[in-house]
Amino acid sequence: MGVELAPRIAAKVRTGLSAHCIDLRLDREGRLLQVVPGWGGGVVATITCPDHRPQMATVMPGIMKIIAPLEREGEIKEVAFELPDGDLGPEVVEIKRGEPEKLPLEKAEVVIAGGWGIGNREDWRMIEDLATALGGAVGATRPPVDEGWAEEGQMIGQSGKTVRPNLYIAIGISGLMHHVVGMDRSKHVISINKDPHADIFEVSDVMAVEDFRKIVPLLIKEIRSRLEG
């Protein structure tokens, strides 16, 4: 595959590193094809490393589908060894447990993501309440992170995390490419946006053209009553 590389990406390939890949393939000659977002996410480029070995790539957590069950099995060999007492490394004096970690975004089967359309910190609680009701994790676009409604680790997209949950609910999110590359492999996408022409609808299975404030409280109420009943 002939690929024209921008100087910035070409330089990374020469050092054996690529930008975070969104797909990896091998061509017939066994060359690794690395599919990466480039130029601020405006294009998707396929790059190769023709001259130097080993070929290396980094991938964002969650971007690759895990193929199970793995058919290959390794051979377990028992190797005898002796470890002198002084070589045991650090001694554990005390274990202090921190706050239990929230459900990691990349592992959540349900992700409720909010965008700039949520409007303020107070209404952001509706996103958190919906996530709690559904047992899911909260994700965000960049503006809510910039505003401090959400944490940096909750950002989904090109500069954030990649998720592929069973259900992704996008609320008040326009669907710009920088965000969509981090969620468009979700199995089912439901979007709520008051703009009927919002780009997020192009990657959605169910669309609600409405002010989220009219829908989300009803959703939370309905889910809670079903769980309780």
Ligand X SMILES: Cc1cc2nc3c(=O)[nH]c(=O)nc-3n(C[C@H](O)[C@H](O)[C@H](O)COP(=O)(O)OP(=O)(O)OC[C@H]3O[C@@H](n4cnc5c(N)ncnc54)[C@H](O)[C@@H]3O)c2cc1C
Residues that bind ligand X (CB under 6 A): 40-41, 115-117, 141-143, 155-160, 172-174, 176, 178-179, 182, 192-195, 198, 211-213
DSSP-based three-state secondary structure for 140? strand
Residue with smaller CB distance to ligand X, 31 or 178 = 178
List of E strands, 110-205: 110-114, 137-140, 167-171, 188-193
DSSP alpha helix (H) spans, 72-211 = 121-134, 142-147, 177-180
Nearer residue to ligand X within complex by CB, 48 or 154:
154
Bridge partners for 112 per DSSP: 138, 169
Residue nearer to ligand X on the CB measure, 136 or 201: 201
Give 123-135 as a DSSP string.
HHHHHHHHHHHHT
**Shortest distance, position 156 Cβ to ligand X, whole Å:** 6
Q: Shortest approach of ligand X to residue 182 CB, angstroms?
A: 6
Least distance CB 173 / ligand X (angstroms): 4
109 vs 195, which CB is nearer to ligand X?
195
What separation in angstroms does the CA of 71 have from each of 62, 64, 74, 208?
21, 18, 10, 43
Provide the 10 A C-beta neighbour count for residue 53.
7
Closest CB to ligand X among residues 13, 124: 124
